[in-house]
Amino acid sequence: MEIFIYQFDLYGNVVVGSFSFDAEIVEKSTHLSIPIADLSFKEFSPGIQLLEFGAVEPGNFLLMIYDAKHSTNISNVPYAFTVLTGT
């Protein structure tokens, strides 16, 4: 799964640079955190980071992206998503 994180300040200006975020995947029905071994953040272009991870377990999940240093979630999270397997 790939998600772009657009970095803006409070006034809507693009914030350039790679900032350290943390991410957590939670199973919706149990509220248990799912360990993701291959989670990675990369600077995609100025002001945009790319979050990538493999989603192989089927189910309904929440993605939470936050700034651990400041104990704050970034906007538009948690992000709900569903993983389907098979045909």
pLDDT score of 32: 93
Per-residue pLDDT at 70: 63
Contacts of 7 (CB under 8 A, 6+ apart): 14, 15, 16, 17, 19, 47, 48, 49
DSSP 74: P
For the CA atoms of 33, 22, 5, 49, the dihedral, rounded to the nearest 10 degrees, stands at: -130
Confidence bin at 66 (pLDDT 50/70/90): confident
Global confidence as pTM: 0.75
Amino acid 87: pLDDT: 60
- What are 2-56's pLDDT values in tens digits? 989 888 888 988 888 777 788 889 999 999 998 888 989 898 998 898 999 988 7
- The CATH number, out of the four listed (3.40.50.11740, 3.10.20.30, 3.40.50.150, 2.60.40.10), of the domain defined by the range 2-9+17-83: 2.60.40.10
